Amino acid sequence: MINSTSFLIVLRFILLVLLQVLVFNKLNFFGYINPLIYILFLYWYPIKQNRTTFIILCFFLGLCVDIFSDTLAINAAATVTIAYLRPTIMRFVFGVNYEFQSFKLNNSTKAQQFTFLALLIIIHHLVYFTLEIFSFSNSLLILQKTLTVGVSTLILGILFSTLFSSKKE
Amino acid sequence: MQQIINFLIRYKIFLLYLFLLLISCIFTFQSHSYHQSKFLNSSNYISGSIYTFSDNVTSYFGLREENNKLVEENKRLRDKLFNNVVLSPSLIDSTSVDYEVVRGRVINNSYADQRNYITINKGRNDSIVQDMGVITDKGILGIVENTSDKFSTVQSILSDKSNINAKIKNSNHFGSLVWENTTDYNVVQLIDIPRLVPLTIGDTIVTGAMSSIFPENIPIGTIKRFDLDNSKSFYFIDVELFYDMTNIDNIYIIRNLNRKEVLELEAETEAND
């Protein structure tokens, strides 16, 4: 059981990095919109797992994407931030429910899943573009990019999560 | 002591987060100065191989167009060659050249970020080193930043760190080519041209002679719009590029054989001051 879970996580890690760098980094929709689809890794990651491993794994996920897209360590910083904040976001979205043993992402309502994903994306993109642009004189550009790229990531994220969600029991 | 350990255990997640965030911030900011970080770039073996593989697949779709471009360039070069009535021996003698050209291919290109890098398939094995110029068939592309054995990353002119010497064609007024409006990837900016220079929209901008990276007179683009900057003594010029930065395949890397000598001489002069 543990082996199959870890195997799934590693497989997801590799596939999402490849998908991000080979497909979505080259999209350049409207010139600059490249959805950061690899965030789905954090959305899908099992809830009852060691937090330390989770944060370290997310750091390397960001770093892998960074190495491929020559963005220094901006992705790593943004991903580590949402990895750290994930339990807080989950408590906010799902209430105390999510701490129960039986809780599963699939059992929650669509609205909850949507909010959860949206919050992950907003925080991630805000950190990402703040670090990338790094000047307050361009704060409008930061917000504009966060909004447009965030919406595109959200749409694709919902599509992917519906496509690959495991069947409801 | 007990309390310190308790504190560490209780906040270990938070501390781990801070530690990892700190690492990524160090990676990010240490390279804000000039050069990209040494090992966090796509010229390494793994990403290079994956990009080569993906380029091998995708390059088939643009073969015909790429062929046309190369034929076009051949034609241009032949025109020049035939009109040069006396073929001077210095054109053929390879010991007296100042520049050497290596051909390469783009295996990964980006143009939507603030700092764009291009990965090419030539590296240290082909004697590519940092600070060599890279051009396309129609104009300049960027400067080599990092190299591995088989690959290099090139800092594109579409980067807010890029700063290249450029001038107005057929004059010697030179300025710096930068990229300030970082959302438009067809337009770069030329600054530091004094206001006494007569300018017209449509004038051609070429590389200047001050740089030890690019040869003089490589075309860059045409003036699209110009305006005085805040100090009112220099122009701020929008330059429209001659070529599409989003569609590049074959490139040439330029080695300036005199560069070492020039740099040594300049360093010596500065040391004497």
Nearest to B134 by CA among B113, B119, B149: B119
CA dihedral B36, B40, B41, B42 (to 10 degrees): 180
The boundaries of the domain holding residue A136 are 2-164
The predicted structure's pLDDT at residue A169 = 41
Number of independent structural domains in chain B: 1
- Cα of B27 to nearest chain A Cα, Å: 6
Residue B170: inside a domain: yes
**Model confidence pLDDT, tens digit, residues A48-105:** 777 888 888 888 888 888 888 877 788 888 898 988 888 888 888 887 766 666 677 7
Q: Is the pLDDT of residue B176 over 70?
A: yes
The predicted structure's pLDDT at residue B232 = 77
Number of independent structural domains in chain A: 1
Residue B21: inside a domain: no
**Model confidence pLDDT, tens digit, residues B14-27:** 888 888 888 888 77
Average pLDDT over chain B, rounded to whole?
81
Residue A40: inside a domain: yes
The predicted structure's pLDDT at residue A168 = 47
Amino acid type, B132: M
Lowest mean pLDDT, pick from B121-130, B146-155, B207-216: B207-216
Average pLDDT over chain A, rounded to whole?
81
Instruction: Tell whether pTM > 0.80.
Output: no
Residue B33: inside a domain: no
The predicted structure's pLDDT at residue B271 = 82
Interchain contact, A70 vs B115, CB within 8 Å:
yes
Q: B211: domain CATH number? A: 2.40.10.340
Residue A19: pLDDT band (50, 70, 90) is confident
Interchain contact, B24 vs A62, CB within 8 Å:
yes
Burial of A79: CB neighbours in 10 Å, binned 0-12, 13-18, 19+: buried
Give the count of alpha carbons within 13 A of B90, CB side only: 5
Interchain contact, A68 vs B183, CB within 8 Å:
no
Q: Is the CB of residue A169 less than 8 Å away from at least one CB of chain B?
A: no
Residue B268: inside a domain: no
Interchain contact, A67 vs B40, CB within 8 Å:
yes
Q: Is the pLDDT of residue B29 over 80?
A: no
**Model confidence pLDDT, tens digit, residues B62-107:** 788 888 888 888 877 777 776 665 555 555 555 566 788 888 888 8
Rounded CA separation B202/B182 (Å): 22
> Is the backbone of residue B170 left (phi > 0), alpha (psi -120 to 50) or beta?
left
**Model confidence pLDDT, tens digit, residues B34-58:** 455 555 666 777 778 888 888 888 8
Residue B2: inside a domain: no
Residue B201: inside a domain: yes
- Cα of B15 to nearest chain A Cα, Å: 10
The C-alpha angle B152, B111, B49, rounded to 5 degrees, equals: 35
**Model confidence pLDDT, tens digit, residues B225-271:** 888 877 778 888 888 888 888 788 888 888 888 888 888 888 888 88
**Model confidence pLDDT, tens digit, residues B178-219:** 888 767 788 888 888 888 888 888 888 888 888 788 888 888
Interchain contact, B40 vs A52, CB within 8 Å:
no
The predicted structure's pLDDT at residue A2 = 61
Nearest to A52 among B16, B37, B41 (CB): B16
- Which of A24, A72, A88 is the best substitution to test chain B (most B C-beta atoms within 10 A)? A72
Residue A169: inside a domain: no
Residue A144: inside a domain: yes
Residue B144: inside a domain: yes
The boundaries of the domain holding residue B89 are 41-256
